[in-house]
Chains A and B, each alone.
Chain A
Amino acid sequence: MSEMAESEGSALKKSWWVHLLLWGACLISGFPLLRILAVSARPGDRLFSTSFELWPADATFANYVEVFTQTGFFSWLLNSLIITILTAAIGVSLAATAAYALSRYRFPGRSSVLVFLMATQMIPVVMLLLPLYFMLKRLNLIDTYAGVVVAYSVTTLPFCVWLLKGYFDTIPRSLEEAAQVDGLTEVGSFWKIVLPLSTPSLAIAMLYSITQAWNEYIVARVIIQTTELYTWPLGIFELQGDFSARWGVFAAASIAVTVPVMVVFLYSSKWLLSGLTLGGVKG
């Protein structure tokens, strides 16, 4: 008994350095965000303060007011929202049936399709962006939502197929067989049994596409050229571009977009991770 208490006591004593290290790591990981938060609350005349203060004594919402009233913040959000929803919806709906076919049927060319899907994850987006840019240009899709959605689908569609296939593989085939014996066709058992059962993985695929599309900058910069169509990353980049003038506004806008994204991400991180491990998902 006393031995146990002793070993627990020493374990506690020993673990102080663990806490110290972890606190250090947390500080580094959270620091830039804290700084941005602090900058966003600074009054305009003290933007370039070199003080180490964590929170300005004369905190103000002025920067936020400016973001919401003087910039295109809400139209950026709207553009981002439309593009994100479309990308997620198209990616998941096209991917679902293909993933099911790959999971359940054996047909010539199946393994090549699977290898191909893997390979697409390796190709840098930038590499395809160039020919895609010309394709979109010829189709007059530059500076449209559709153009951006098309470009985003290059990465999200194969990934969604791969992810959903991994999930479908975990659903026992006997479920569809039971449904067929119960009176459904092969396609019917997919619609009525497998799809409703797969809502968690469909949500993961959605979530993945959403985070991809919502936070994307590099591709959007090429395809969107008019300010009216700017997504929020483009808008924020613009704010930050003239560092001297609008650093506080940039910070405020950053906080305004980051907080909801972060909440969603942290809330769903467990799912997202299980999705990344492909197939480790259970309904």
Chain B
Amino acid sequence: MGSVTGALIQVGHWLGITVGILAACEGLLYLALYRFAHRLFWPATFVLAAAAWGAIAASGHPGPPGVIAAALVFLVAAIFKYLVKGRHRIPIMMMAPALIGVSLLIVYPFFFEFRLAFANLNLYSIAKWLDGGDLNFVGLDNFKNVFTTSPLQTATFWELLGRTFIWTAINLVFHVGFGLALAMLLNRKLAAKGIYRTLLILPWAVPQVVAVLAWRGEFHPQFGFVNQIISLVGFGPVNWWSDPIAVFLSCCIVNIWLGIPFMMIVFLGGLQSIPRSYYEAASIDGASKLTQFFQITLPMLKPTVVPSITLGTIWTFNNINVIYLMTGQDGGNEHADILVSALYKSAFTYSRYSFSAAFALVIFAILIGITLVWMKVTRGTESATA
């Protein structure tokens, strides 16, 4: 009972702070948008700037930070007075809470990541920094290390990169293939269709942690179900927990199992949205089932397939749950690691903070590259079919 009240007090405390910050921001915005022409606008700005400077100085950061903050206050005030001039009041005030949230949660960390990547923060230097020490500057060392040393213990960056692409490709092929096949099986008059559908989306409904850990149990080299089945067929037991290829394979199997329902449901929706009349027209024209699949089903599915493949690629590329939960236990191995799971381990298992920041930025650059290529490809096919 005591823990509940303690929890509630903690929650209330933070909620209060959040609401207070947001209310203060909205109040300032209100003044900047509605009272920008008031004669006390500049004096008020001055007071605010002084307060910001004072607060930062009082918190133990004399000099530049306070001056920068005060200058920022003046800059923002000038923008509102001379550029915004009270226009777009409502959208600005409505956007503000989320924008403040997003910039604190995403924009600031993103830039901080850059700063980290050029320092050498690690398990040994962290304590000093947390006590108020400054971040040093080591140039591009971390970026160089990403490509020359292992983010983990032995696996190199290139190995991880290659495995990431293989991982993404394998998963996507099976997700789309099985998803489409099941969707087509379900997209017909069928007894007990609802039951099939429910049973088939179970992997999606089960919490991933439970599902992956359960699978891990099934891959147990000695007691796991998978090895029992294999031995029935006459193969020797495979050490799924340590054999390099088997580990990666088991991760793929689990992730494929997890991802099929999403694709199935998306494709089922896509299939159901194809008007029957197309098939009727095609069969009157004498098209075979196979022709109908290639000439009607696939082209008509494209609007659903393209975005879901895009999403699927990103999700698979960024998927860390399965690999970490399967292999991340103490004494775990790195034969299944892809870029993001290696990033997680290097940051939080091996505590190589600055190295990981550089590593993260490299991964980000790769993601942007893939996106650009992908956009070009989809644009290209769109204009080709248009």
Contacts and interface: CB of A to CB of B under 8 A. Distances in A.
Interface stretch (B38-46, B106-114, B279-287, B377-385): B106-114
B202 A33 contact: yes
Contact of B101 (A94, A124, A250, A265): A94
Interface stretch (B84-92, B144-152, B242-250, B292-300): B84-92
A262 interface: yes
A145 B225 contact: no
B210 interface: yes
B203 A29 contact: yes
B3 A218 contact: no
A32 B94 contact: no
B65 to A, nearest CB: 14
Contacts of B105: 128, 132, 150, 153-154, 157
Contacts of B373: none
Interface in B208-253: 208-211, 213-218, 220, 222-223, 225, 228
B68 interface: no
B102 A122 contact: no
Given A35-B218, A105-B88, A145 B209 contact: no
B312 to A, nearest CB: 12
B213 A29 contact: no
A124 B363 contact: yes
B356 interface: yes
B329 to A, nearest CB: 6
Interface string B93-133: 01101110110011011101100100000000000001000
Given A97-B98, A137-B130, A265-B204, A36 B314 contact: no
A215 B110 contact: no
SS class, residues of chain A in contact with chain B: helix
A145 B225 CA distance: 38
A97 to B, nearest CB: 4
B340 A15 contact: no
A18 B10 contact: no
B97 A97 contact: yes
B10 A146 contact: yes
Contacts of A25: 182, 185, 196, 200
Contact of B314 (A107, A121, A237): A121
Interface in A259-279: 261-262, 265-266, 269, 273, 276-277
A174 interface: no
A97 B100 CA distance: 13
A158 interface: yes
B209 A36 contact: no
A131 B202 contact: no
Contacts of B386: none
Interface residues of B, number: 88
A18 B321 CA distance: 33
Interface residues of A, number: 96
A49 B105 CA distance: 48
Given A22-B185, A97-B95, A98-B95, A158 B320 contact: no
B101 A26 contact: no
Interface string A99-118: 01110110110100100100
B364 interface: yes
B37 interface: no
Contacts of A240: 213, 216-217
A265 B265 CA distance: 14
B206 A127 contact: no
B347 to A, nearest CB: 5
A98 to B, nearest CB: 3
B158 interface: no
B156 interface: no
B214 A29 contact: no
Given A18-B185, A157-B105, A265-B204, A32 B360 contact: no
**Which of B10, B102, B330, B371 has most chain A Cβ within 10 Å?**
B102
Contacts of A110: 91
B257 interface: yes
A22 B196 contact: yes
Contact of A243 (B190, B201, B217, B269): B217
Nearest to B227: A50
Contacts of A35: 214, 217-218, 225
B69 interface: no
Contact of B10 (A97, A104, A145, A258): A145
A22 B196 CA distance: 7
B198 interface: yes
27 contacts: A32-B211, A32-B215, A33-B206, A33-B214, A35-B225, A36-B210, A90-B101, A101-B94, A101-B95, A107-B88, A124-B367, A126-B320, A130-B113, A131-B357, A134-B116, A146-B10, A146-B11, A158-B102, A161-B98, A233-B209, A236-B213, A258-B210, A261-B207, A262-B205, A266-B198, A269-B205, A277-B269
Interface of A: 15, 18-19, 21-22, 25-26, 28-30, 32-33, 35-36, 39, 48-50, 52, 75, 78-79, 82, 86, 90, 94-95, 97-98, 100-102, 104-105, 107-108, 110, 113, 116, 120-135, 137-138, 144-146, 149-150, 153-154, 157-158, 161, 186-187, 214-215, 217-218, 221-222, 228, 233, 236-237, 240-241, 243, 247, 250-251, 254, 257-258, 261-262, 265-266, 269, 273, 276-277
Interface of B: 3-4, 7, 10-11, 14-15, 18, 88, 90-92, 94-95, 97-99, 101-102, 105-106, 108-110, 112-113, 116, 130, 182, 185-186, 188, 190-191, 196, 198-211, 213-218, 220, 222-223, 225, 228, 257, 260-261, 265-266, 269, 314, 317-318, 320-321, 324-325, 329-330, 340, 343-344, 347-348, 353, 356-357, 360, 363-364, 367, 371
Q: Which 4 A-B pairs have the closest CB atoms?
A: A98-B98, A131-B109, A105-B91, A146-B14
